[in-house]
A and B are shown apart, each in its own frame.
Chain A
Amino acid sequence: MKTPETPAFECETGNYHTFCPISCVAWLYQKIEDSFSLVVGTKTCGYFLQNALGVMIFAEPRYAMAELEEGDISAQSNDQKELEKICLQIRDDRNPSVIIWIGTCTTEIIKMDLEGIAPKLERQIGIPIVVARANGLDYAFTQGEDTVLAAMAHRCPEYKWCETNSKRQDQSGRIRVNTTSNNKITSQKSELTGSNLVLFGSLPSSVASQLNSELKRQSILISGWLPSQKYDELPGLGGDVYVCGVNPFLSRTATTLMRRRKCQLIGAPFPIGPDGTRAWIEKICSVFNIKPDGLEEKENRIWKNIEDYIRVVTGKSVFFMGDNLLEISLARFLIRCGMIVYEIGIPYMDRRYQAAELLLLQHTCIKMKTPVPRIVEKPDNYGQVQRMHELKPHLAITGMAHANPLEARNIDTKWSVEFTFAQIHGSGNARDILELVTRPLRCKGGLTSGSRSLSKQTTII
C-alpha cells in the first residue's frame, strides 16, 4: 500500500451543513458562571438557538437575543440607545460580571459598530462588555468559541502586574481553578514549575481539572485557564507566559495571544485520545525542559483498558463529513484505534495552528500502515453523500441533518455534535470517545439482519 508523505488537502464548494457559530453561547454561558451572552441578531438566530439547544433554553439561561426589528435595520432607531435599554434590563435582572455581545450576520451587513458602542456603554452601565463577531458569514460552529475567547484575551490582566501586586489573589485564584490542588500535595511538591503556563479552550470544569492533574503529575502547575470559571479570575498574560490550546478550533485565539498579548504558543497535538494526550503533555514538558515521567506506561495502560472497544472498531471504516473542526484529532485517534478513515471533511483548516496535530496524524498513519486520508476543506455535502455511496463506510460521522437519511440508506451514523458536548479530552476520557463511536456499531449487533432491512429506504438517490 502506498503511503503518501504528506496529507492531501482539497477544498470544495463550502455547501455543507453545520451549526451557526452563535451556538457557542450554549456552552460558554455555562462555563463562565457570571457572564451573560446577548446575541444581537434576528428572529432567524433566535429560532436556531431555541431549536438547537432544545431543553437548555427552558432552564433560565443566561443568554438572550437582542432581536433586531425593521426600525433597527433602516437605522430609524439609535443602536446605542436600544442596546443601552436592553443591557440595563439585563443588569437589573441578572447582575452579571460581564456581558458578551455576539455579533451576527445582520450586524455585519448593516455595519453596526458593536466594538465602538461597547466601551461607551461599558462606562455608562459599569459592566464590562466583550464583543465577539461569531457570525455565519465568516465562521462555522465551534469557531464561535474562538471569536469569544479571542475577544476575552484582551481582557486578561497583565502577567507582571499579577506577579508583583496581587500574588495572594493569584494564589487563591489558582486554587480555585485547580480544584485538585490538595493542600498536602502542594506543600510536598513545592518545586512545581511552569506556573506561567496558561491553557486556552473552554472545557467542563471536571475535564479541566483532569488535565490540570495530568500536568501536575509532571510537576507542571498551570497559572490559569482562558476562559476561567469566573470572569474576574481571567489569567494574567504577557511576554513571559506560555500558552497552549486544548481544542483544534482556537486558531484566532492563539493568534491573538501571540500577536497582541506577546505570549509564547506551544504548538502541540490536542489532548484528545491517549495518544494525543501523551503527545500534548510531552510537548509541554519539552518546553519547560522536564523529562516526562511514566507517560508511556500510562498510555499503554489506557490502550489496554479500552481493548474491548478497540476490538469493535478495528478494521471498520469511517467517513467524517466535517462540521466542528475536531475532525483531524478524532480521525488521528480512530486511526490509532485501527480504523480506516476514508475522508476527513473539515470546515476550516489552519495548517499552522494544527501543524503538530497534522504531523501526529501522519506518524499515526505510518505506524498503523494506512494511507493518509484526504482532508477536504469546506466540503460539499452532496458530493460527500455520492462518495459515501461508493465507499460504503461502516460509519459516517455527520450532522443531524444527514443522520436519519443516511441510516435509512444503511450507513451507520454518529452525530458529530455529541463530540462537542461530550467529555473527550485527557487520557481518562478515551473510553467516552469510543463509547460514542461504537454506539451505532454496537446497536447494529443487537438487531437481526432481517429486521434491519425493514428500515432500509427503497428509493435510490
Chain B
Amino acid sequence: MKLAHRMYAGPAHIGTLRVASSFRNVHAIMHAPLGDDHFNVMRSMSERERDFTPVTASVVDRHVLARGSRDKVVSNISRKDEEQRPDLIVLTPTCTSSILQEDLQNFVDRASLYSESDVILADVNHYRVNELQASDKTLEQIVRHYLDRAREEGSSNQSLTDAPSANIIGISTPGFHNQHDCRELKRLLRESGVSINQIIPEGEFLRNLKDLPRAWFNTVPYREMGLMAATFLEKEYGMPHLSTTPIGISNTADFIVQIEKLLNLWAPVLLRKKLNYDLYVENQTKFVSQAAWFSKSIDCQNLAGKEAAVSGDATHAASITKILVGEMGIRVSCSGTYCKHDAERFNEQVRGLCDEVIITEDHTEVGDTIARIEPSVIFGTQMERHIGKRIDIPCGVISSPVHIQNFPLGYRPFLGYEGTNQISDLIYNSFNLGMEDHSLDVFGGHDTKGISTKSLSTDKKNIDWAPEAESEPKRIPGFVRGKIKRNTEIFAKQNNISEITVDVTYAAKERSSP
C-alpha cells in the first residue's frame, strides 16, 4: 500500500481502451464495476469527440461477485455484436477482474462461436503494467492477431510497394498532440518521397492490417506506444523500424538520414537510383523551420545559461532536453521521466546533457526536486504546471498527462520542422513570461493597479452591513461578488432598509431580476 495523491500514467485498461477506440469499428467491453467507464468522459471531453466512444462495460456488481459473471459477459458481447456489428470486440480486464480471476478467455472463446465480430481478450495485467505499457502490448496483440490470421488464410501480402512507403505506428487517442504530429509526420515522409502505407491504430480498419508488411519500413514516433508492434514486424516480416523521434532540428535531421539509409537498401534495386536528402534537410532547416535562426538571434542569446527543469514521458522529456541544451544553449539542471520501464534508454539519451536525472512515478519527488533547484522555467506535464503555479515558476507543457487545453484546435505539432517552430515559441514564451513577471515585481507591479478597484456604489455610506451579512458575500465566488453586493444594496435602498442583515441578502437574491 502506498499513499498517493496523483499519478502520471493511468491504469492498464486505459492503454487498451486507447488502442481499441483508435482503430475504426472496434468496440471494447470492460469487465468492470459501475463508474469505471470514465475513459468515455475523458475522450468525449478532452478530444471533443463527436462520436460515442466505442467502450461499454459488462458491469460487475454484487451478483457477479457472488455467482461469477456466468453468461453476462458472453451476452454483452453478443449484444454489442448485433447492435453495432464491430469488426472486433476487445474484452478488457480491469483491476477488479484481475482479482476476481474469472476465466475471461473462456468467455471470449464462447462468445466468438456465436458472434460475427472477432473477439479477443486484451492480454494485460493491471498490477504489472501501466497505461503506456498496456497500450504498447495491446497494439502488438491486435497486429499479431490479424497478421497471423492472414498468414493462415494465405491472404497476407508481403510484396513491397513499388514506391517507397512507410507505416506510422503509435498514433492514438487521446495522445499528446498526436493528431497534429501525425499530419506533420505524413508531410515529412511525403516530402522525402515516402508514401504512407498505413497509420495504426488511429483511424485504420483491421481488415487492412494484412497489408502492413508491404511498407518498406516502420516509424515509431513515440517510444511509449508501438515499439512492441514494430519489433514483432521486424522479427516476423523483416521490416526495419525507425524509433528516432523527429522532435527538434537535430533529431529531425537524424530521422531523415536514417530514412535515407533504409531506403537506399532497396532503392538501387527497385528505383534504380540512390537517394540523397542532404539538400532537403538543409533547405528545411534554413527556410521552413525558424528554430535554427531563432537560436542565433538576440532573443535566444538572452536565454543562454538560464536554468530549466524537464519532466515528462520518455520521448518528450528526452527530446526537449536535447533541444534546450543542444539547440538553445539553456542549462538543464534536472531532466526526468515517469516511464520507469524505459529508464535505461532515457539515461542514455540525456547523459551529459543535464546535472541530474530523476526517474520516478512519484510527483512529490519531482515537485521537491524542482522546488530545491528553483529553475527559471519548467517543461513538464500538467502536474508540473501546477507545481510551477505554487512556487511561481512558469511552465510549458510538453507531455501527457494532459488536460483539455492540450488539445488545441489550431495546428500545433511537436514533430518535424513545423514542430520546431511550435517548440521554439513554447520555450521562448515560457521564459519571457517569467521575466516579465519578475520585472513587474521589481518595479512594483502594473501601474494600473490602483484603478482596478471599482467602487461598489456611490452613496455606500447610507447603508450598513451587519457583520454576519458582511461575511455572506465572501462565500460567493470573487468574480460575481461585486455584482451581488451591488444588487443587495440597490435592493436595500429600494425597500428603505438601513442595515443589511443576512436575511436581507437572501431576500435580495430571491427578488433580484435579471
Which residue numbers of A lie inside 8 Å of B, CB to CB? 14-22, 40, 42-44, 46-48, 50-52, 54, 57-58, 61, 64-70, 72-73, 77, 79, 82-83, 85-86, 89-90, 105-106, 108-110, 135-141, 179-180, 182, 204-206, 209-210, 213, 298, 301-302, 305, 308, 382, 385, 399-405, 408, 427-428, 457, 459, 461
Residues of A within 8 A of B76 (CB): 15
Residue from B35, B53, B476, B506 whose CB has the most chain A CB atoms within 10 Å = B35
Taking the nearest CB of chain A, how far is it from the CB of B38, in angstroms?
Answer: 5
- Would A404 and B49 count as touching, CB distance under 8 A? yes
User: Is B5's CB under 8 angstroms from A404's CB?
Assistant: no
Per the bound structure, the CA–CA distance linking A58 and B1 in Å amounts to: 22
Main secondary structure of the interface of A (DSSP, over half): helix
- The answer to whether the Cβ of B65 comes within 8 Å of any Cβ in the partner chain is yes
B513 nearest CB neighbor, chain A only: A305
Q: B44 — which chain A residues lie within 8 A by C-beta?
A: 400-405
The CA-CA distance from A380 to B30 in the complex, in Å, is 16
Tell me, yes or no, whether B391 is within 8 Å of chain A by CB: no
Q: Pick from B37, B83, B512: contact of A382, CB below 8 A.
A: B83
Residues of B within 8 A of A57 (CB): 5-6
Assess whether B3 is in contact with A427, with CB atoms less than 8 Å apart.
no
Task: Contacts A44-B13, A206-B475 given; indicate if A405 touches B50 (C-beta within 8 A).
Answer: yes
- Write out the residue numbers on chain B whose beta carbons fall within 8 Å of the beta carbon of A90: 3
**Complex CA–CA separation, A390 to B403 (angstroms):** 35
CB B434 to nearest CB in A, in angstroms, measures: 20
Contact residues in A for B50 (Cβ distance below 8 Å): 404-405, 408, 457
Chain B hits for A85, CB < 8 A = 1
B51 with A457: CB separation less than 8 A = yes
Hey, which chain A residues are within 8 Å of B476, CB to CB? 206
B96 contacts A67, CB within 8 Å?
no
**What chain A residues lie within 8 Å of B36 (beta carbons)?**
20, 44, 48, 136
Are A180 and B468 in contact, with the CB atoms below 8 A?
yes
User: Bound state CA distance, A105 and B36, in angstroms?
Assistant: 10
Tell whether, in the assembled complex, residue A77 and residue B1 are in contact, meaning their CB atoms are under 8 Å apart.
yes
Determine which of B52, B65, B383 lies in contact with A405 in the assembled complex, contact meaning CB atoms within 8 Å. Answer: B52
What's the Cα separation between A442 and B83 when bound, in Å? Answer: 35
A321 CB to nearest chain B CB (Å): 13
Given contacts A67-B1, A138-B61, A457-B50, contact A48 B514 (CB under 8 A): no
Q: What is the size category of the interface that chain B forms with chain A?
A: 35 or more
Q: Which residues, 474 to 514 on B, are CB-close (under 8 Å) to A?
A: 475-476, 501-503, 506, 509-514
List B contacts of A302 (CB < 8 A).
510
The reply to whether A15 and B7 contact each other, CB–CB distance below 8 Å, is no
Q: Which residues of B contact A403 (CB under 8 A)?
A: 44
Q: B386 contacts the other chain (Cβ, under 8 Å)?
A: yes
Q: How far is the CA of A57 from the CA of B5 in the complex (A)?
A: 8
Given A51-B42, A67-B1, A137-B60, A205 contacting B475 (CB threshold 8 A): yes
- CA of A159 to CA of B5 in the docked complex: distance in angstroms? 38
Given the known interface contacts A15-B57, A135-B33, A180-B468, the answer about A46 and B4 at a Cβ–Cβ threshold of 8 Å is: yes
Least CB distance from B261 to A in Å reads: 41
A47 touches B10 (CB 8 A): yes
User: Cβ of A22: which chain B residues have Cβ within 8 Å of it?
Assistant: 35
Residue pair A43, B33 in contact (C-beta under 8 Å): no
Taking A66-B2, A68-B1 as given, write out 4 further A-B residue pairs in contact, using a Cβ cutoff of 8 Å, ordered by the A residue number: A14-B61, A42-B95, A70-B128, A136-B32
24 contacts between A and B (CB under 8 A): A20-B38, A43-B10, A47-B11, A47-B14, A47-B38, A51-B42, A61-B5, A64-B3, A66-B1, A66-B2, A67-B1, A73-B127, A86-B2, A86-B3, A89-B3, A137-B60, A137-B61, A179-B471, A182-B503, A305-B511, A382-B56, A428-B506, A428-B509, A457-B51
Does B94 make an interface contact (CB < 8 A)?
Answer: yes
In the complex, the number of residue pairs spanning A and B with C-beta atoms less than 8 Å apart equals 195
Pick the contact of A109: B5, B53, B96 (CB < 8 A).
B96
Cβ A402 vs Cβ B52 within 8 A: yes
Q: How far is the CA of A386 from the CA of B198 in the complex (A)?
A: 34
Instruction: Give A176 Cβ to nearest chain B Cβ, in Å.
Output: 12
- Which residues from chain B sit less than 8 Å from chain A, CB to CB? 1-7, 10-11, 13-14, 32-38, 40-42, 44-45, 48-53, 56-57, 59-62, 65, 76, 83, 94-96, 98-100, 126-128, 130, 383, 386, 389, 403, 466, 468, 471-472, 475-476, 501-503, 506, 509-514
A400–B506 Cα distance when bound, in Å, is 32
If A19-B35, A83-B1, A385-B52 touch, does A400 touch B41 (CB 8 Å cutoff)? yes
* A68 and B45 alpha carbons, distance in the complex (Å): 29
A401 contact set on B, CB distance < 8 A? 37, 40-41, 44, 53
Q: A65-B5, A67-B2 are in contact. Are A137 and B503 (CB under 8 A)?
A: no
Contact B502 A43 (CB under 8 A): no
Given contacts A89-B3, A404-B45, whether A136 and B35 have CB atoms under 8 Å apart is: yes
In angstroms, Cα B5 to Cα A67, docked, is: 9
In this complex, the member of A67, A180, A308 whose beta carbon has the largest number of chain B beta carbons within 10 angstroms is: A180
Task: Give Cα A40–Cα B128 distance, bound, in whole angstroms.
Answer: 19
Asked whether A65 and B127 contact (CB < 8 A) given A20-B38, A109-B99, A400-B44, the answer is no
Chain A residues lying within 8 Å of B100, measured Cβ to Cβ, are 109
A17-B40, A205-B475, A404-B44 given as contacts; is B35 within 8 A of A461 (CB)? no
Q: Which residues on the A side are within 8 Å of B512 (C-beta)? A: 305
Is A301 in contact with B11, judged by CB distance below 8 angstroms? Answer: no
| In the bound complex, CA of A382 to CA of B40 (Å) | 14
In the assembled complex, the CB of A78 is this many whole angstroms from the nearest CB of chain B, namely 10
Contact A20 B10 (CB under 8 A): no
Docked complex Cα distance between A40 and B1 (Å) = 9
Known: A48-B36, A83-B1, A408-B51. A15 touches B65 (CB 8 A): no
Q: Which A residues are in CB contact (< 8 Å) with B472?
A: 206
List chain A residues, Cβ under 8 A from B49: 404-405
- Say whether A399 contacts B41, CB under 8 Å: yes
Chain A residues near B96 (CB, 8 Å)?
Answer: 44, 105-106, 109
Distance between Cα atoms of A3 and B476 in the complex (Å): 43
